[in-house]
Structure 1
Amino acid sequence: MLDNYSFAHPEFFWLLVFIPLAIAWYIWKKPKQLATVKMSSLQGFKATPSILPKLKPILFVLRMLAIMALITALARPQTKEVSTRIKTNKGIDIVMAIDVSASMLSKDLRPNRLTALKKVAAEFIEGRPSDRIGLVVYAGESFTKTPITTDKSIIQNALKDIKYKHGELIGGTAIGMGLATAVNRLKDSKAKSKVIILLTDGVNNAGFIEPQIASELAVEYGIKTYTIGIGTNGMASTPVALNPDGTILFRNMQVEIDEKLLQQIAKTTGGKYFRATNTKKLAEIYDEINKLEKTEIEEFRYTNYEEKFRIFVFFAGILLLIEILLRKTLFRSFI
């Protein structure tokens, strides 16, 4: 409850050091405050015991409490409520172009490349709250899964929905088509920075747009491309055909990634090439891209102060009033 309390003039609390001095002075002077009468005998007087003399120090206590309340009021207690508004100075538009060919079901990443990618990509999207992100998927051909948007729930749902269509083990990998579609989604963007993250696990063997042409288009529209080759070094359990019962037949096959092409795309567009040989490395790559493409954010903080000194002044006034009333009534005969 007191977490958001503050004092505008805390230096007034130094006045509290006089309270112990006042208490010491009162104790020292107390014996001299009551008049004494010396009599040879009290036999003619009837004793009437009273508790009032013992309660007289309450007047001093009330006054000290009132002074402490006034000192607290001078310190100006106040509560503050802080609100923030975030303004993005340099927004980044990002399109993630994802290979969804059959080879993405290979099991060198656990449980397979596609599932591992979706998990890592979801974390990357969650870490870009101020940017617009879109999704493009490609295999033998490409299409836009989600246009660039700031609605992260739409993007996350679309990412979860990406899956390999069971039974389609042909079609190849159209890297050029995937890159060109991503460029098309960003070419009209007014963002300060435009980025494509292109991921594949194979070679360009389909489509009617060459990757080099798509790279030149990206350069023309000022779009930077980060390329990721996903797959282990050596052999991997890869889908090759369908069994008679409709399940997928896996065999250990040599992993072939056109790293030279991916490096060329990244270099031409001013991006960077990465190789993800396992799930941990893939996560590290997305984390590095996240650090490379920082969004400039300006935060405005507004503080609303509410003064609370009035209640202490009111409390001090009540205490002083009680002291005066007691002094003029119950304790009148002792003063």
Structure 2
Amino acid sequence: MIHFEWPWLLLSLPLPLLIRWLLPTHAPAEQAALKVPFLEDFADAETRTVMPARRWPLLLAAIAWGLLVLAASRPQWLGEPIEQAVSGRDLMLAVDVSGSMEEQDFVIDKRMVDRLSATKQIAGEFIKRRAGDRVGLILFGTTPYLQTPLTFDRKTVATLLNEAFIGITDDEPATSIGDAIGLAVKHLQDKEADSRVLILLTDGANTAGQVSPLQAAELAAENHLKIYTIGIGADEMIVRSFFGSRRINPSRDLDERTLKAIAQKTGGRYFRARNTEELDKIYHLLDELEPVEKDKQYFRPRSELYPWPLALALLLAAILAASRSRWT
């Protein structure tokens, strides 16, 4: 259907007639100095030829004015209503990009990859599934950085996560979990949302920052921010060297006690991801714990139509200008 964004502008259609009616009639500036005695003989011929020829500019001007008023009222074509799901949830992801995330103890497509690459793939698919949520992204190492503010554009968030790399926030191999939570609280506390959720993924312990993780968790709880923590990294890995093979624990620095306490203080849960399959299951479980709500809202796409009458009005104006210059 056709919709006019500013229909009240259509009331200006009779404006030229009102101006002509209100303004006084313009008297001729001078009278003819020479009278032709037989001018009356050509009166009928002038009426038959000149007058009809001079009526079409007035008609074109009237049409151009009507088209101009029509364009000013912004006609739009409204498409069919499209249902959109809006959950009212603000969901922030905080991903560790410190040096320890370079550890290659995950397997994707039968090849060893580092922890950040596994996180990108699994968390990227999770982001794409969060239709209706406003999603944001925080990257943290020694200092936290807001990579993406809250937005409904999940594709952009997934793209920026995929472009993240080790040390993107700094060059030091430290982790500031508390500051990352504090940054999330800062960007979520003033938002009007039915639910605020932070998913924090790390493979280490808090070794930097100005705020301790538990202090930040208390602040998050006061602002009704629920935190789900994920400890990532394998429990053991075989390392081969010149002297033989030995087993090591690549997750020896993971502070599970603190991550569990953070989740408990805020009403969330702690998860342990030792491999790609467990990490994928965790994100599917998060889909169940924080389901996408299907509140029905409708959006009607709009296509602007005003360029068409505007272009026709300008074309008629150009024709009138060209004709006037020819007469003069």
Q: TM-score, with normalisation over the residues of structure 2?
A: 0.59
- Per-residue displacement from partner, 1:273-303 (whole Å, max 9, x unpaired)? 00000011000001100111013213479xx
Aligned CA distance change for structure 1 residues 87 and 94 (closer, same or farther; 3 Å)? closer
Does the 8 Å CA contact 1:236/1:255 hold for their aligned counterparts?
Answer: no
**What is the CA-CA distance between 1:165 and the residue it aligns to?**
3.5
- Per-residue displacement from partner, 1:159-197 (whole Å, max 9, x unpaired)? 11111149x763311111111111112111111000000
For the pair shown, the structure with the greater C-alpha radius of gyration is 1
- Per-residue displacement from partner, 1:309-332 (whole Å, max 9, x unpaired)? xxxxxxxxxxxxxxxxxxxxxxxx
Q: 1:269 aligns with which of 243, 266, 271?
A: 266
Q: TM-score, with normalisation over the residues of structure 1?
A: 0.58
Q: In 1, distance between residues paired with 2:120 and 2:211?
A: 26
1:183 alignment partner in structure 2? 185
Q: In 2, distance between residues paired with 1:184 and 1:292?
A: 24
Q: 1:172 aligns with which of 171, 174, 181?
A: 174
1:329 alignment partner in structure 2? none
Map 1:226-245 onto structure 2 (within 5 A): 226-235=228-237
2:98 alignment partner in structure 1? 101
Q: 1:255 aligns with which of 251, 257, 261?
A: 251
Of all paired residues, the percent bearing the same amino acid is 40
In structure 2, what residue type is equivalent to 1:184? K
Q: In 2, distance between residues paired with 1:119 and 1:87?
A: 24
Aligned residues: 207
Does the 8 Å CA contact 2:84/2:132 hold for their aligned counterparts?
Answer: no
1:207 alignment partner in structure 2? 209
1:286 alignment partner in structure 2? 283
Aligned CA distance change for structure 1 residues 209 and 99 (closer, same or farther; 3 Å)? same
Aligned CA distance change for structure 1 residues 174 and 236 (closer, same or farther; 3 Å)? farther
Q: In 2, distance between residues paired with 1:300 and 1:148?
A: 20
Q: Any stretches of 5+ residues in structure 1 without a counterpart?
A: 1-81, 238-250, 302-335
Q: In 2, distance between residues paired with 1:161 and 1:142?
A: 16
Aligned CA distance change for structure 1 residues 151 and 252 (closer, same or farther; 3 Å)? same
1:85 alignment partner in structure 2? 83
Q: In 2, distance between residues paired with 1:262 and 1:292?
A: 18
- Per-residue displacement from partner, 1:32-77 (whole Å, max 9, x unpaired)? xxxxxxxxxxxxxxxxxxxxxxxxxxxxxxxxxxxxxxxxxxxxxx
2:117 alignment partner in structure 1? 115
Q: In 1, distance between residues paired with 2:297 and 2:140?
A: 41
Q: In 2, distance between residues paired with 1:173 and 1:236?
A: 26
Q: In 2, distance between residues paired with 1:254 and 1:297?
A: 41
Aligned CA distance change for structure 1 residues 127 and 236 (closer, same or farther; 3 Å)? farther
Aligned CA distance change for structure 1 residues 274 and 213 (closer, same or farther; 3 Å)? same
Q: In 2, distance between residues paired with 1:300 and 1:268?
A: 34
Does the 8 Å CA contact 1:197/1:227 hold for their aligned counterparts?
Answer: yes
In structure 1, what residue type is equivalent to 2:84? I
Q: In 2, distance between residues paired with 1:298 and 1:210?
A: 38
Aligned CA distance change for structure 1 residues 236 and 270 (closer, same or farther; 3 Å)? farther
Does the 8 Å CA contact 2:185/2:219 hold for their aligned counterparts?
Answer: yes
1:124 alignment partner in structure 2? 126
Helix, strand or coil for the counterpart of 1:297? coil
Does the 8 Å CA contact 2:234/2:250 hold for their aligned counterparts?
Answer: no
Q: In 2, distance between residues paired with 1:93 and 1:214?
A: 18
Q: Any stretches of 5+ residues in structure 2 without a counterpart?
A: 1-79, 108-112, 240-246, 299-328
1:218 alignment partner in structure 2? 220
**What is the CA-CA distance between 1:137 and the residue it aligns to?**
0.7
Map 1:131-146 onto structure 2 (within 5 A): 131-146=133-148
